[in-house]
Structure formats: structure tokens, C-alpha cells
Chains A and B, each alone.
Chain A
């Protein structure tokens, strides 16, 4: 399954090569043009049936949060810095792979037996952590790893029925959904599928991609926080697993185009596709940078709900995934203008 392969691929921001290769091979027979730009965004263009039809940008980001090697110690241990927002508390005791050669390593932890009581109550700073690749000296480590190499979490993705567990569903779920859409029948609109880079470090790839395309409409397909495990009773969840695509009305970076929000909702209702509203206004997506490109772009974000985003293991429901691709595609069919 494509989603599983994409989940297991490593694509730390700025180092999206493996993900890009998988997607390129997957869509190459289904689109009219396939190219990259100076930042590494992958553009997959599917011409519309009507040359006067609208120009629609569909964006999903290839990058994921991860680490970057910043020093190799004399004893062969590797120090790192974080790329994107990662909670220090999920780092200890993880398996990782480093660089293009995917050198395996582990993020070590001080054994609990020798931790002092006050240490047990403190979160270890990522600056104090190290990756152990088994090297016993700097020279030995440097044969395999160099400063500046990206580090990704090594996590096998697994499916059980419709539930899939794995890493980086933010936003490989969006990437896989966008691939599905590109494989569907040609429609009136010309689709610019853009697999963007560097979303997690400041929404950077989408900004230059949108400038290049200058689209009439943009749909950002995301994997968003499903926080549906109640901490307190009667607190509204952000989005819930199994309840369909989550439509963003507003988040910290943008207010979605009202017309596109209504189009998605109406299309869902007419086609019996269950949808939900994302009930949190925190965080932001590529939509924020696309919306304010050039003279402005009508933009909406719609997401596959994912539990535990940015952690080395997340969870999604394939029914939501399929419904997201279907909802976006069916909405495209109703888009007017051009």
C-alpha cells in the first residue's frame, strides 16, 4: 500500500528525496507534466478537459519533522538538533536512521536504575541526548555519518483492518490522497498537484510553488491532529478518527475561503461523504502561505484526522483517508470559473 511505503520513507524537511522518488514513480503514468523547482517541490500537472477551466493547486507536504546531526563526539556518539516541532518527551529510546545510507542508530537513555529521583521528574533536553550507532570512536562514526546528515525515525507501518499505525502521516496521508486524486479521471479543471517541501520549518516550499502556478483555487490536503481522547468531559475534540475529513474553517495561519468551505460541505452532503469541522484554531498549514501569495489565492485546508502527529507513531483510519480523496475530487468537479 502506497500510504505504508510513504510512511516508512524518510523525508526530514530539506531532505525529501526518498518521498519525492516514490511519488514520482507512482504518478508518472497519470499526469501530463512532472517537474521540480529550485527548492525541490514536485509538480504533477493534469490538464483539464476544458482549456478555459479553472487552475487548481492541490498541495500536500512531503517533509516530516526529524533531526539533524550537529556534532560527532570523540567517543563516536552523535549529537543532534531538532528539525520542526518535536516534543522532547517522545525522543528517548527511539530507533532512527541517519543520512542517505540509512545508518541505523538508537537514541540512548540513562538507565532508570542509576537515575536520581530528581532526574526522573525532569524532561531530558534534546541537546543532552545522543544517538548511538555502535561506533567506538569519532573516526569510526565519521565513516558512516557526517555533520549535517538528516535523521529520521525508523518505524514500521502496520495496518489492521482500516486502522493504520505508523509515522509521518502528517503529511504522507495528504500525499497519498493527492496521488489517488491524480489517478482519478480527468476533470474540467487543470490540476496542479504539488508535493511541497519544508512545510514543517515555516511553510516554505508552498510559498514559491504557489507563486509559480498563480492558481485560481488551492486545496491543502493535510494530516491533522485528532485529539479525540477526552481529558475532561464535555470538551470538544479537535477532530475524531472515523468521522471523515476535517475541514478547516480557521487556524492560526489563515481563515479558509468561505466559498470553498461551503463547496466541500455541500459536496460531502450530496454524495453521502461524512465530514467534520476541525475544532481548533491552533497550528497552521501550507494554506497560510498559499493564501497570501501574489494577489491572494482562494484556499481551503482539509485533513485526514491523525492521532499523535509529530510523534514517532501515529494512527489513522483508512475510511477517513479514502473519504478525503473522494471529497476533494468530487468538489473539483463542481468548481466553476476559470
Chain B
């Protein structure tokens, strides 16, 4: 499957939290051939349904569709745009960043500030604050006012490039890499028998609180769920215990947020099939859609598979294609395994 092709399209499609529609349209096109039904719900979740052979149960797989970005707060004299952040954007990566502003039309722009020539020595050593920065579109003020309004959303440019060693760099790989893994999982399942119905959900608004995960798991009410997200990739900037190596396989979450029998089945399968994997202990529930899915309704047993990603929440997020492929392999094998016996044991803690 053309993973790079999918990722190029998915990462370039805008999908700032709450406005995932464009990215959703791209995704629907990719998953339609593998699903029995594809829909977008009223929360902005894209849901692909692939019926199982025996029924008798359902499994939800979820990767979030939204990405972090900016929102216009004010049009300054001269047509310069002030903005705020949507989701956890690191201000320090913004100066010099190209953007696309989604007004009545799409408008290109750059984020800029006072030139270094005009900054005193002291000032140059201070990190930029949000209030120091503005977007310059190059357009005259009256044209800017015509096209752009307060509340319009802004996507940070982050074109996908292929690095060496099977690595790629792009913006929004958090979590479009996970979304791509979900597409590939569905594709693999066309060649694999599975009993349970599969609900593949690209969730909305994860970066602003997991809202799409909460609503979709409530409405679907699956017997179990596996979330696909990214986790901190190892780099010189990351303390040794908090990062995971790229290329060493998908990362299986363990801890209170996850059902021990789901984490256990994933680990057993990885061992059995010789798929390299890593383990991430998560002491406190949170950080992914699993936070809400686990406590939807009477509780939905949930697992987590993550792709190690360097430079998270920047426009140069780096991951390895091999990790995505191995994740989709492991997840499709999980779905093809005997989920009925797993389901029966999920309520048994005595």
C-alpha cells in the first residue's frame, strides 16, 4: 500500500481541531474501498464500518483526525493578523513558519516579528511571546478584511519529505501517521478473515480534550477498543526514560488506562508473530483518546498502540514507515484473532 502517498495527502489536508472536514473528506476517499459503510457523524468523526463474518461483537479502532493549529484573533492596521493557538502549540517554533489561513479563500502567509536588526541585545535573548508575533499575508488591508475574519483557522505548513532510512518528516503526523496506520489496517483486513465488526473511527477534537472519542465510543458502544496514537520518539532532547526508539516497532501501552487482557493479547501476538514491539508504562490515564473511551457508558476495555515520533507538535515531526507498517500488521492480526474468547474474559476480575 502506498503509505507515503496516503500520508502526503493526509498531512496536507487541513484538519484543525473542530474543523476536520477537509482531512475527513480525504480519509473517506481512502477507506471507502475497504469498508461496508463510511459516514461522518455530527461531532465530525469519520467512521468506517467493516462487517465481520460472525458478528457477535464489535471492536473500535481509533486514531485522531485533528491537528493543532492557530486561530485568528485580530486584524491589525495594515492587514497583519494576530492569532492564538488551538491545542498545544510551542510558540518557539512559530517565527519563520509558513501558514495557510482559511478565510473565504485560502490565503498564504508567514509568521514573523520584529527583525533582529531592531532588537537590542537583551531582547534578542528573550523567547518570543504570542503577542510579539503576527501573520503577514502580503495582501493589502482592505483585501485581508474582505477575505479573513476573526475566528478563521490557520494550518502550519509542514510538507512531507522523505528522509533517509525509511523516515519521513512532516507536520500533523500526530496523528495522521496513526490515521494512515488505520487505513492500512483496514486494507490488510480485506485479505484476512475476522469475526467481529470493525468500527474504524478517525476522531475529532482530540487535541482539545478527546471530545470525538467520547461521543463516538458512546454511540458505537463497542465491546472493546484499540487507540492508535503517536508517542515521544527518542532524540537528544528527550530524557532516556521518556522516549521510544524509531524503527523498534509499535509501542504497546500498559497501566490503569488499558485493559490488562488487551495489552496482554497485543504483547502475546507480537511475540508469536515476531513483530518487534516496545512497552510504554503509563502511570496516569490521559494523553490519548483512550482516556475517554475506557470510561464511556459502562466502560469499554481499551488498548493503546503508538508510533514513536520525534519532534512532536512541530512541523517537522519524524517517524519511520516501518513502525506504521508493523503497527497495522499487529492490529490487523489482533482483529483477526479470537476476539470472542477475549471479550468473554474482559469482565472477569475475580
Contact = CB atoms under 8 A, between A and B. Distances in A.
B300 A70 contact: no
Contacts of A147: 279, 281
**Interface residues of A: mostly helix, strand, loop or mixed?**
mixed
A37 B347 contact: yes
Nearest to B286: A202
Contacts of B105: none
A71 interface: yes
A310 to B, nearest CB: 15
Given A14-B256, A24-B350, A36-B347, A211 B281 contact: no
Contacts of A81: 281, 283
Contact size range, A: 35 or more
Interface stretch (A38-46, A272-280, A301-309): A38-46
A86 B216 CA distance: 34
A326 B198 CA distance: 50
Contact of B299 (A15, A39, A71): A39
Interface stretch (B48-56, B96-104, B147-155, B290-298): B290-298
Contacts of A211: 297-299
B285 A198 contact: yes
Given A38-B299, A207-B295, A211-B297, A79 B347 contact: no
Contacts of A68: 255, 281, 283
A201 B285 contact: yes
Contacts of A127: 239, 241
B348 interface: yes
Nearest to B262: A38
B206 to A, nearest CB: 17
A98 to B, nearest CB: 13
A247 to B, nearest CB: 27
Interface in B306-350: 346-350
Contacts of B297: 208, 211
A69 B347 contact: no
B295 A38 contact: no
B301 interface: yes
Given A201-B285, A204-B295, A79 B256 contact: no
B82 interface: no
Contact of B346 (A38, A67, A212): A38
B284 interface: yes
Contacts of A14: 255-257
A148 interface: yes
A17 interface: yes
A24 to B, nearest CB: 6
B284 A79 contact: no
B259 interface: yes
B181 interface: no
B299 to A, nearest CB: 4
A70 B281 contact: yes
Contacts of B281: 68-70, 81, 147-148
B256 A201 contact: yes
Q: What are the nearest 6 A-B pairs in CB distance?
A: A14-B256, A208-B299, A36-B349, A68-B283, A148-B254, A148-B281
Interface of B: 239-241, 254-257, 259, 279, 281, 283-286, 294-301, 346-350
9 contacts: A36-B348, A41-B299, A83-B284, A201-B256, A204-B256, A204-B294, A204-B295, A208-B295, A211-B297
Given A36-B350, A208-B296, 6 more contacts: A34-B350, A67-B283, A71-B241, A201-B283, A201-B285, A211-B298
